[in-house]
Structures are given as C-alpha cells and as structure tokens.
Chain A
Amino acid sequence: MSTIPPKDTPNASTEGPQAGASAISFHFYEEDGTVFAELSESSNASQLGKLQLELLLSQDGLDKYQFDEGVLDTLAAQINKGEIGRFHIGNRTDAEIKLDISSDKLLATLDVIPAKGGEVVSPKLLESTLSSNRIMSRCVERATLTTLLNDLKENRAVNQLHIAKAVEPEGGEPTRFESLLKEDKDLRPKEDDSGVVNLKNLRDYITVEPGTPLMRRFPAQEGKAGVNVVGGAIVSEVGTNLDFDLKLEGCELDGNDSNLLLASIKGIPVVMSNGVRVDPVLSIKDVDHATGNINFDGAVIVGGNVTSGFSIECSGHIQVKGLVEHASLISGGNIDIGGGVVGENDADPPGVEYSAHLKAAGDISAKFINSAFVEGQGNLTVKEYALNSRMNILGQLQLGQQGGKGRLLGGQTHAERGVVANILGGEAYVKTEIGAGCDPLLQDTLDKLHSSHTRRVNESKQLKEILNGIVAAGGTEQVGKIVLAKSQKVEEAVAAIEQKVASLEAEISAIETRLTSFNEVTVQGKKRVYPGVIIQVNNGLKKTLYECENESPGLTIGNEE
C-alpha cells in the first residue's frame, strides 16, 4: 500500500496498463476506522474481479475489516468501467455482545458478533453485560462460561448460547410404599441341599401369618424452590400424599404405627402399589413351566391344567378345573379335579410306580382316574370311571353315584368304608382287585399293642414282687453314709409302667372300636359285576373273599357272600 492521501483529497496511486480500466489503491484511516478505495485514470490497468480485490485487500492487510455485502462487486464494476474517485468500502468494527432473556425468565441466550479489526469482547464487558441484566451467577454453568471466555478471547462468533438456565425446583417426594416381604424374583431353578437341581422347582410361594408386617408407608415430603435466571423464585410442588389402600382384603393397620400395614389373615401376600392383599388361596391359571412346581402353605386353585411332570404340594385344599396329566398333587385338605387324572404305569413290577399321584388328608373327587396312585384319608368320588389305578382310601369309594358311568376297572383298590359303583370290572374280564373294611395292618397293630400290654403288665407284677421284698426289708438301703429310698424308686417305676399300661389299653380300645365299625362295610356293584373281579372285605376279624366267575347283574359283598 502506498502513502495514504487525505480522505478529502483523493489521489490516484494505481495506474492500469490497459485503457478503460481504473487503477486502484486502498487506504485505511485509523482515526475513524474507515477503508476507502481510490480509483484513478490508467492507461494500462487490468480488469479486476471481486477475488482480485480481496487478494489486494489481503496484501494491504485490510481484509480484517468489515466490508458490506456486495461492495467489492460494485467496486470491481466501477474499476472495469474506468470510473475514478474515492469510495468508502469498509469499516473497522468492534465485537458486539447481545443477551436475550426469555419471557418466562427461565433461559438467557447470548450472541456475539466477532470484531472486524476492532476490540474483542473482554471478560469485563461480559461480566458487566450479565450483571446489568441481573443474571444470577448460580444459573450460569461454569463449563459454559469457560468455553465462552475462550471463544471471546479467540474472537469467535457465538450463536444462541444458553448462557444461563433457571435452577429448576425440586418437586416434593410423593408418598412412598416399601414392601417388607422378601420376594423371590429369581425364577431360576435352585440347587437343593443334596446338590440336585430340579428344573421344575422355580420358587417357593411365600405365606404370611396374621400380624406379619407387610408394607411400610413413607409420607409425602415438601420439595425445594428453584430460581429463574434473574433471581426470581420458582415455587416447588408438594409431593402427592397417598394412604394405604385398606379396601384390600387380609390386611390391617398396626395399632401403634399408622404407617405399618400388617396381615390380618394367613395367606399369600400380593403386593400392590399402595397396599398388600392377602389371599387365603393361591390362584394359578395352569401349572407348567411358567409357574414351576407349586409348594404352598394354603389352598391352591388351578384354573386350567396341571401339566405333565409338575407337582402341587400344599397344606390346604387343591382345586383343579382341568386335567391332571402325569402329575403329583399332595394336599393337606381335599382335592377336587374338574377334569380327570391321566397317568401311566410302566413300572416293573406293575402297580409300584405311577406317573400320576394324588394324596389328600381329606376327600378326593375327579371326573375320571386313569392309571394313577391315589391315597386319601377321606372319601373318593369318581363320576365316570377309575381304570388300572392303585387306590387306598380311609373313606368310601363312590363311582357314578351322582351321575356318570361309575365303573371300576383293573388295578388294586382298598377303601376302608366300602365301595359303591355301578359297574365292577369289564367285558374283557380284567383282573380288578377290590378291598374294603379295615386295613390288614390294623390287626397287626392291634396284635402288637396286645403283646406290649401283656409284657408291661408282667413287668409291673415283677416290680411289685421286688417292691414287696424291699418293703419287708425296711424299704431303704444304706450305701456308705447315704440311705437309698429304694421302695420309693421302685414305686415310681411301677407307676410309670402302669401309666404306660393305661395308655396301651386306650389305644387298644380305640382300634377295637374302629374294627367293630367295619361290620357294615360292603362292596357294591349296582348294575353289573364281571368275572375277574376279586373282592375281599375285612370286617374286623371276620373276612370275606369273593371271586366273580360269572357275569352278574348286580352284587353286594359284605359280611356274607
């Protein structure tokens, strides 16, 4: 760049070699920060475009200033037309900072236009900008500020920077409920004490006793107020307050702690969002791989089926609305099966192992039973048929007495209180063994009790004879300086034996009474009895054995054939 002419006396400094185009020179005026282009006559000046002008400005160190949009294109046109004169084409500008606060005062946005040859935004200017707008320092993130200061120092543009954000209020904690029950959410099979992993034993169902703590309530808590970018408070919301749902059954509040929920009945706890329901019954759709084996202290209702290979063991009743296939049900109460029981018996010898097993402390009922092992302390009611099963029950076996075919075919059956069926055996003369009356083992038990009774009575006699001798000798014996109360000790031994004798007599009496009660027990085939049926009725000491050789229209076997 040549010597700068005065702004008001333009002077050509560049001459072009080609007629028609102007020569150009640039001048920067420090005092007001303006940039001028000087166009002068020239006979050899070249045609120029915007790019050449930018290059010339760069060579003169003037490209850092602010040039208005299109000014260089206009200047190039003027040059190429050969115009002469001085033209104001640019300015030195300082950086500009602009802060905008949203109408809700939750956000402050900052824009910075970089300096063009002028002053950059200093930290002091930034601080004064923020403070003059009352921006709260707690609303400005340190990391954001650090980045901004670096950008300002480097004279970089900043666009829509969220320089300050409101501190949001912390909402109040709503009421919280915490279950106090140990919930086994791990449904993976577990290893038992013997190191065996049964893939069907997924979990244990928890039961609770009355008074068991179920759930604790933590009351709602107030929140913490926030602040907007200019220091205004933002009110927090109070947490939602909720109470226990006391409409749920089987629970009640602790009398001493209104935030503690207790079980009021024994059952299975079902945890809800704000309470716990205690069901006296465990209800399941099906027993299968989704549930695993069921082991429950209470009653169980299965809405569908019990799938092959699975088991239910519970202290209460079991109700299955569908089928029980190759499965085991063990109940501390009754077993009621809406469908039937299907098993098989491939064991050798036959009759030992069955794939379906029912065991109940009470009554058992089913639509049909096929190849199953059934044990019950109450009655067994079957509507259609019982096939090839081993059934031992202490009550009565009734087949088809409330509708249905009522057939007993194959297998071994013993019902202490007798059997009532419509049909015994089948057209193929299948061997069907039926026992009724007292359990043969009951007589053995009675014999053993009698034997023990006799022996204890003899022991009592022996001791009494010894006691007589001791009493005759004074009843005591001196060992060193100690006097032994021999007669007293022997009397105590006699008393203990006589107490045992009394206990045995009570047991014997109970069994004898029970045996007597079997006098009226019968096995009855009301409509038809087929060959192959073997009936044995043990009415106490009186036994009746009947083997059917000819098809009979109906038969009752009891005390007399």
Chain B
Amino acid sequence: MNDDAKLIVESIMSDDVHTVTAERTLGELKTIFEKVSYHHLLVENEGKLVGVISDRDVARNLSPFLETSSERRSDRSLLDMTAAELMATQLITVGRESSIDFASILLLENNISCLPVVQENGQIDGIVSWKDILKCHVYGVEP
C-alpha cells in the first residue's frame, strides 16, 4: 500500500458497524448503549444508511423519573419511541476513498464525532470516528 492509499478513510475506518433498523424502540436503544463502548448507531434500511443515533440522543429522550419511585406512565411510554423519531437525518458522510483531511475538516466544522462511510447509493461500508483520525495523526502510519 502506498502513502496516498494510507491517507484515505478506508485505511482507518471500522467496517464492523453496529446498525439498527428505524423500528427499534428507545428502550431497545437504551439497552444497546448500556452494553457497548461506542456512542453512535447507524440506522439502516436494507443496508442503506437512513439516519444516525447517538447515545446522547437516547439520553435526551429518556425521562429522568424512569425506574425511580416517581416514575409515571408517560415516562415509560417514552420508551416506545422509535429510532425513526430520534435519529438525525441530515447526514454528513464520507466515502472509502475520501481523504482523511476531508473527513477531519467535516468532523471539526460540523461539530460531530463520527462519520458514516457509505457508497454512492447509501450502502453502509463502515464508520470513522474522531478517535480513529486522532490515532492516525498521533501515532502516524507504519511505513
């Protein structure tokens, strides 16, 4: 692999992506985020990206009284909200062959922490986070 090939998103992205469908409920999403170490889930429909949900999106929609003595029925009913209602649909994405510089600028200037990697037709290829890019800049590329 030459140096140019190493400086594209494909070389640092994760292709083992956790995706969910738009029908998943807030309760299910809460359970998922409680078990995993990452902060974003890609919402897909037949393999194509339709939205992104972060753990903050989930936390923001949970009632603070949930699972407390003050819990009300309306608090629990919030758990039935679907991913489609919660997810961000203004998607900022990159492709496998996008440069790491391009991805870095998108993250910084849009104040987001990860970018889905998709094909032209929206098919999900992977995800790249600010941590992946930071690691690349700090630790460099093995010659």
Contacts and interface: CB of A to CB of B under 8 A. Distances in A.
Given A452-B97, A455-B97, A493 B109 contact: no
A456 B120 CA distance: 11
Given A451-B120, A455-B120, A466 B109 contact: yes
A452 B94 CA distance: 12
Given A455-B95, A469-B109, A493 B120 contact: no
A459 B101 contact: no
B98 interface: yes
Interface size class of A (residues with CB under 8 A): 10 to 19
B54 to A, nearest CB: 22
Given A451-B120, A454-B120, A455-B120, A462 B106 contact: yes
A29 B102 CA distance: 135
A456 B97 CA distance: 9
B109 A496 contact: no
B102 A493 contact: yes
A496 B105 contact: no
Nearest to A496: B99
B99 A493 contact: yes
A354 B106 CA distance: 52
Contacts of B120: 451, 454-455
Contacts of A492: 101
Interface size class of B (residues with CB under 8 A): 10 to 19
Interface in B84-112: 94-95, 97-99, 101-102, 105-106, 109
A463 B98 CA distance: 12
Contacts of A452: 95, 97
A452 B105 CA distance: 20
A463 B105 contact: yes
A35 to B, nearest CB: 110
B2 to A, nearest CB: 14
A492 B98 CA distance: 14
Nearest to B108: A486
Contacts of A469: 109
Given A454-B120, A462-B106, A466-B109, A497 B97 contact: no
A173 to B, nearest CB: 53
A469 B94 CA distance: 20
A490 B105 contact: yes
Nearest to B119: A451
A542 interface: no
B104 to A, nearest CB: 8
A463 B99 CA distance: 12
A134 interface: no
Contacts of B105: 463, 466, 489-490, 493
A501 to B, nearest CB: 12
Interface string A497-522: 10010000000000000000000000
A367 to B, nearest CB: 44
14 contacts: A451-B120, A452-B97, A454-B120, A455-B95, A456-B97, A462-B106, A463-B102, A470-B109, A490-B105, A493-B102, A493-B105, A496-B99, A496-B101, A500-B99
Given A463-B102, A489-B101, A500-B99, 20 more contacts: A451-B120, A452-B95, A454-B120, A455-B97, A455-B98, A455-B120, A456-B97, A459-B94, A462-B106, A466-B105, A466-B109, A469-B109, A470-B109, A489-B105, A490-B105, A493-B105, A496-B99, A496-B101, A497-B99, A497-B102
Interface of B: 94-95, 97-99, 101-102, 105-106, 109, 120
Report, nearest first, the 10 A-B pairs whose CB atoms are least far apart. Answer: A493-B101, A466-B109, A451-B120, A455-B95, A459-B102, A493-B102, A490-B105, A493-B105, A452-B97, A459-B98
